[in-house]
Structure 1
Amino acid sequence: MSTALLVIDMLNRYEHDDAGALAESVGESVPNIRRLLDAARQQDSTVVYVNDNHGEWTADRRELADWALQGSRPDLVEPILPSPDVPLLVKARHSAFYATQLDYFLRTHNVDRIVLTGQVTEQCILYSALDAYVRHFDVAVPSDAVAHIHKDLSDAALAMMERNMRARVCLTDELVGVFGSR
């Protein structure tokens, strides 16, 4: 089974209404996302960033990264910036799959299992998990490598992913070794 790591919406300025609650949760998630990024790289596995374009339709990778780094919490962005050799797909809606090339990219790389990391658990992670499930990908969600705004909604979203989408909801420690499987 070939596994890809997806990093969703981590290029963020943290200057919106819910930024305080989100940034606190992101601060707890970033070290685990970094661990998964390192494990995927060491095991030569597929990594894909999918990020909201924040309404900037002409923004490219560098512009999105610079925009996020100039925000109020560059300390949450810098440790997980996408390296130049890692694909970054831009999205405009909640799901990483909706109107993006993600499904095609994963299929052409023979990926059948994805690990979802990033933000926001009760929004973009949940909708991406649903879209992955209906596309017949196996889904894993490390609960300590996704960030939320509302803890209660995050818990409900994780339960829905596990029950309704057959996602493996676990901790980062349980996933750092899965990337070597091809």
Structure 2
Amino acid sequence: MVKKALLIIDYTNDFVDPQGALTAGQPAVELAPTIVKLADDFLQQQQWVILPTDLHRAHDPYHPESKLFPPHNLAHSWGRQLYGPLQEWYTEHQKNDQVYQFAKNRYSAFANTNLDNYLRERQITELHLTGVCTDICVLHTAIAAYNLNYQLVIHQQAVATFNPAGQTWALEHFKNSLGATIV
């Protein structure tokens, strides 16, 4: 049996909620039911649900994103909490050994984290990517996963970004340059 993990990338209030500091808006909000259903399905299949979640400190002049984006996903803030239905799902399932949330500080969930080790220890070879933003953090995570020889599946109805052009470009890139399966 192929071991799989669902990655729910940066699905937080700051990226999803209309009041978030760096929100992808309504397209991101609309992902919630699909993401929660996928998470339920993965646990029912005894697979893994992993939640790489952006973490920043206010006024960090050394972090490259400080020059590009307003402060977002700050430690201990409402903005860093998982968005709505996903927060409820996580609260209910966080003690399950196959649910893992961790902090990341770069676009890619692999940069400066133990994600690759976590996956290899469990012999996970197929990654299903969801979350936000399709053309930033989801994209950079997919590129890193591709370079580490993971099989990629992108759930088109479970990713969103700031603009339709970025969404279209990223989905084509996943398929044509990374060999990802788009479902």
- Under a length normalisation based on structure 2, what TM-score does the superposition of the two structures give? 0.78
Q: How far apart are residue 69 of structure 1 and its match?
A: 7.7
Q: 1:89 matched to which residue of 2? A: 102
Which residue, out of 51, 54, 60, partners 2:53?
A: 51
Identity %: 28
Shift of residue 68 of structure 1? 3.7
Match of 1:2 in 2: 3
State the distance in 1 between where 2:114 and 2:163 align. Answer: 30
What residue is the counterpart of 1:179 in the other structure?
none
Structure 1 counterpart of 2:172: 159
Residues 165 and 69 of structure 1: CA distance in aligned 2, closer, same or farther (over 3 Å): closer
1:12 aligns with 2:16: no
Which of 113, 119, 123 lines up with 2:136 in the alignment?
123
Is the aligned partner of 1:67 residue 2:69? no
Q: Are the equivalent residues in 1 in contact too, given 2:12–2:83 (CA < 8 A)?
A: no
In the alignment, structure 1 segments of 5+ residues that lack a partner are: 58-62, 171-182
The letter for the 1-side match of 2:175 is E
- Indicate how the Cα distance of structure 1 residues 69 and 95 shifts in structure 2: closer, same or farther if over 3 A, else same: closer
Q: Distance in 2 between matches of 1:34 and 1:75?
A: 10
The Cα RMSD (Å) is 2.3
Deviation (angstroms), 1:74: 5.3
1:110-165 CA distances to partner (integer Å, 9 max, x unpaired)?
00000011110010001110000000000000110012111111110110011000
Q: Check if 1:23 corresponds to 2:25.
A: yes
Shift of 1:76: 5.8
**Which residue among 52, 65, 87 is the counterpart of 1:78?**
87
Matched letter for residue 38 of structure 1: D
Question: What secondary structure does 1:115 align onto?
Answer: strand
Higher fraction of helix: 1
Number of residue equivalences: 159
Gaps of 5+ in 2: 61-74
- Counterparts in 2 of 1:74 and 1:40: CA distance versus 1, 3 Å: closer
Hey, what's the Cα distance between the residues in 1 that align with 2:149 and 2:101? Answer: 22
Q: TM-score, normalised by structure 1?
A: 0.79
Whole-Å Cα distance in 2 between the matches of residues 77 and 41 of structure 1? 14
Tell me, what secondary structure is at the counterpart of 1:87? strand
Give the partner amino acid of 1:9.
Answer: D
